[in-house]
Amino acid sequence: MKKSLVFPGQGSQKVGMGKEFYENFSIAREVFQNVDDSLSQKLSKIIFEGPLDHLTLTENTQPAIMTVSVAILEVLKKEFGFDIKKFNFCAGHSLGEYTALAATECLSVRDVAVLL
C-alpha cells in the first residue's frame, strides 16, 4: 500500500488555528518565529487574533496556512516520531504544494514564506 501526505490549501484558514501547538510545543513556536522573521511582520498575531478579514487576505492566508501546517508537522516529527520518509508521496492542494516543498526540505520554510 502506498501512502500520501497531503497539505491543505487556501480556504482552510480560521482565526486561532495552530495556537494550541504554539502554546504547548517549542518547536512550533520556532516555526512561527521563523516565518514572522522572514516576513518582517507578526503573521502569528494575525493567525491567532485576527481579525478574520486580515487573515483571509491572500498575502496573509497563504503563509499562515503553510506556517501552521509545518508547525504541526514539526511537532509530530519531534514529539511523536512521525517519519515523513515513510510516505511515498507528499503533495498539497493549491498553496499546499509549497507546504509540501517545505515539508520535504526541498525549500526552507523561510523561502516558502517569502515566495507565498
Residue 98 CA to residue 53 CA, distance in Å, equals 23
Name the residue among 73, 74, 55 with its Cα closest to residue 64.
55
Residue type, 115: L
Residues 44 and 74 sit within 8 Å (Cβ to Cβ): no
Beta-bridge partner residues of 6: 91
C-alpha cell at 32: 512561527
CA dihedral 51, 97, 106, 89 (to 10 degrees): 130
Read off the pLDDT of residues 28-74 as tens digits, 9 standing for 90 and up. 999 999 999 999 889 999 999 999 999 999 999 999 999 999 999 99
Q: What is the pTM of this model?
A: 0.93
